[in-house]
Structure 1
Amino acid sequence: MAGKRAELLNDTQVKACLRWCGERRRYPHRDRVVVLLSVRAGLRAVEIAKLRRAHVMDDGGGIADVIDLRGKLRLSKKGTDRVIPMHADLRAHVIELFRIVPGGPDDPLILSERAMRPNPDDPEDRRLVCMAANSIVLMFGQMYGELGLSGFSSHSGRRTFITQVADRITEAGGSLRDVQQLAGHTSLNTTQSYVDGSDEAKRRVMKLL
């Protein structure tokens, strides 16, 4: 992102964000999924807004263990194919969202306020009405403001995800290329901009040579 980089979230702050959804929001089950799609899947606000239930469903109609953004499920023509394994916390909250708010594969995963309280006399009222990307950005801004977290934005979750994956990918036997694919970056240089060097890591690697 241009200008000053968004602050990174630690685990305590992520828990505070999830509590905020439960204490301050009308639809906490929906908004917790929004938070976790950002911080545990690295999705941008515009990508979260575009998600359909099909992106997280398996062939049998159940909840998959990945977010599938390939082929016809790709979120934009200029985007890259990617498959993001679902973090256990995110998957559990998606299952809860499906339980509370029924819907089909073509329905948005994150529904608008109006769609969350549809007109009972109009069964089509909920169909294809997603929460707008700008509304998601505003939700993050309100959340961080009320939690007293300065320097955080809707990009903080994505930056936290990419940074944490980059820090730990070698422990899992992967490489920076895997981080690039999870982030959906077209250029490895973009991925590298998320990664800070570590003098301690450099000292440790010399002992391994």
Structure 2
Amino acid sequence: MTESPGRRAELLTDAQVRDCLRWCGDRRRYPHRDRVAVLLSVRAGLRAMEIARLRRAHVMTAGGDIGDEIVLEDGICRKGAGRIIPMHRDLRAHVVTLFGTVPGGPPDPLILSERAMRRNPEDPDDTRPVCMAPNSIVLMFRQMYGELGLTGFSSHSGRRTFITSAARLITRAGGSLRDVQQLAGHTSLASTQTYVDGSDEAKRRVIELL
């Protein structure tokens, strides 16, 4: 299942992101897992397909600790556009909580399916972890936005929010839109630009600075 093309997904405010994380705790059976999925979208800009394919090893160091970046291999990304994304502090905190709550090793999916979350680790016939499918992640986002009364939002809203926010802040960090392109995993700068919403307030401020 994919979101309908043609209409761009709405951007999330910080307050709406907090509502989404609260929804995971109030409405979901596995809140730690689902909060990480939400933050992978909003604070790392991952697509549903990438969230589904992510393994624990992709957020771990060679020494086995939780790292401070997400290392996306070419094989799990659209068009093979692998990339490294520094991990947002909120996302890392929730990953730490997830690791402490759900046992697993580096090869295991970071976002496990419902069946895998219910597995019995003491049963030798029930040990194979299964990732949460991309369609299931899309449906989770759809359910979340629907129950929160947010119209025009989809599984792509987090990614659009991440890219737009990064584009607005990147020059303050000493970077350029090229850095945002690399964070997004786009093969062309033109693709990145289609994600970025303009800001009337920013336009007013820049005129005042001329």
TM-score (normalised: structure 2): 0.92
* Aligned residue number for residue 162 of structure 2: 161
Cα deviation code 1:16-40 (max 9, x no counterpart) = 0000000000000000000000000
2:36 equivalent to 1:5: no
CA shift, 1:186, in A, is: 0.5
2:21 equivalent to 1:18: yes
* Aligned residue number for residue 109 of structure 2: 108
Q: Mapping of 1:48-67 within 5 angstroms?
A: 48-67=51-70
Asked if 1 retains the 8 angstrom alpha-carbon contact of 2:164 and 2:196, the reply is yes
CA shift, 1:128, in A, is: 3.5
* Aligned residue number for residue 200 of structure 1: 204
Specify the code of the residue in structure 1 equivalent to 2:17: V
Structure 2 unpaired stretches of 5+: none
CA shift, 1:147, in A, is: 0.4
* Aligned residue number for residue 46 of structure 1: 49
* Aligned residue number for residue 191 of structure 1: 192
Q: How many residues align?
A: 204
CA shift, 1:125, in A, is: 2.4
User: What percentage of aligned pairs have identical amino acids?
Assistant: 73
Specify the code of the residue in structure 2 equivalent to 1:113: E
* Aligned residue number for residue 89 of structure 1: 90
Cα deviation code 1:126-147 (max 9, x no counterpart) = 4240001100000000000000
Take 2:43 and 2:152, find their aligned partners in 1: how far apart are those partners?
A: 20
Cα deviation code 1:151-180 (max 9, x no counterpart) = 000000000000000010000000000000
RMSD of the TM alignment (CA)?
1.7
CA shift, 1:201, in A, is: 4.9
* Aligned residue number for residue 148 of structure 2: 147
TM-score (normalised: structure 1): 0.92
Structure 1 unpaired stretches of 5+: none
Q: Larger deviation: 93-102 or 193-202?
A: 193-202
Specify the code of the residue in structure 2 equivalent to 1:68: V
CA shift, 1:122, in A, is: 2.5
Take 2:191 and 2:197, find their aligned partners in 1: how far apart are those partners?
A: 13
Asked if 2 retains the 8 angstrom alpha-carbon contact of 1:63 and 1:95, the reply is yes
Asked if 2 retains the 8 angstrom alpha-carbon contact of 1:49 and 1:133, the reply is yes
Asked if 2 retains the 8 angstrom alpha-carbon contact of 1:106 and 1:128, the reply is no
Take 1:77 and 1:163, find their aligned partners in 2: how far apart are those partners?
A: 20
Specify the code of the residue in structure 2 equivalent to 1:137: V
Specify the code of the residue in structure 1 equivalent to 2:81: T
